[in-house]
Chains A and B, each alone.
Chain A
């Protein structure tokens, strides 16, 4: 059971805009910047979004991030078949025993 809650699955058709949510609490999303990762099968995760809504160089602007209160979202516009894979949110948690990083449970995106 992850500290951050993501929907197990999401879907959309090519060209559509889809969003993936990540729900947390005051001690994590409510206090710290959120990152998002894309993980293709059999490969290491790739950083898509950091500091809630910033994209590393090379990440298409089809990917965007937002945050409100204790929830964050990843939006993918102009959905493409190659976007079909797993997505994870991550954030620091200001735990009682010291800060640590938590990941969401992951969302599998299907392009119909």
Chain B
């Protein structure tokens, strides 16, 4: 059974850097073809894809956020980390990590609020 869970701060201040961790089980990012991605959803709004990392460390980013995002993986810990710099109140959203491409199994999401 594949499960994923997001963790990180629930509140960040404007201009700060957000670091979110996705801890997963039921698969390995060392396995060929496997990928884990991040998607966010502002309250009451649509889904927005952020980034994806493949088993071979290849990475894809949303071009509109590319300069602010970094996605990395730690196969020994079964974790994927997303960092987003220069946070702004408009970045307030629920952040999801998901297995697969397209995203198949999703984590429950974590709400991040950006406010001073």
Contact = CB atoms under 8 A, between A and B. Distances in A.
B102 A90 contact: yes
B108 interface: yes
Interface in B1-55: 37, 39, 46-49, 52
A99 interface: yes
A112 interface: no
Interface string B64-88: 0010000000000000000000000
7 contacts: A35-B103, A45-B96, A45-B106, A101-B60, A101-B102, A102-B49, A106-B46
Contacts of B61: 98, 100
B47 A100 contact: no
Given A95-B63, A103-B49, A44 B107 contact: yes
B77 to A, nearest CB: 22
Interface of A: 2, 35, 37, 39, 43-47, 50, 56, 88, 90, 95, 97-106
B104 A101 contact: no
B115 interface: no
B70 to A, nearest CB: 15
Residue in B47, B48, B52, B61 with the greatest tally of chain A CB atoms within 10 Å = B47
Contacts of B52: 101
Contacts of B39: 103
B103 A99 contact: no
A90 to B, nearest CB: 6
